Amino acid sequence: MITTEYIVGFDKVSKLKGYARTKEQIVAKAKPIAHEMGIYFLIKAGEVVYVGQGLNIMARVGLHTAEKDFDSVSTLPCPKEYLNLLETIFIQSFRPRLNYKYSRGMMAVPLRNVDITAIEEGHYEHTN
Do 110 and 61 belong to one domain?
yes
Do 23 and 67 belong to one domain?
no
Q: Check residue 1 and give its pLDDT.
A: 47
Residues 6+ apart with CB under 8 A from 128: 109, 110, 111, 112
Predicted TM-score (pTM) above 0.85? no
Give residue 121's pLDDT band: very low, low, confident or very high (50, 70, 90).
low
Q: Check residue 92 and give its pLDDT.
A: 87
Q: Check residue 118 and give its pLDDT.
A: 57
Do 81 and 108 belong to one domain?
yes
Give the residue with greater pLDDT, 1 vs 35.
35
Q: Check residue 128 and give its pLDDT.
A: 38
Across the range 63-87, mean pLDDT stands at 91
Please say whether the dihedral angle defined by the alpha carbons of residues 34, 37, 38 and 40, taken in this order, is positive or negative: positive
Do 15 and 42 belong to one domain?
no
For residue 45, the enclosing domain spans 38-120
Q: In the chain, how many domains are there?
A: 2
Q: Check residue 126 and give its pLDDT.
A: 42
Task: Report the greatest alpha carbon distance in the chain.
Answer: 68
Do 2 and 59 belong to one domain?
no
% residues pLDDT > 90 (the chain): 37
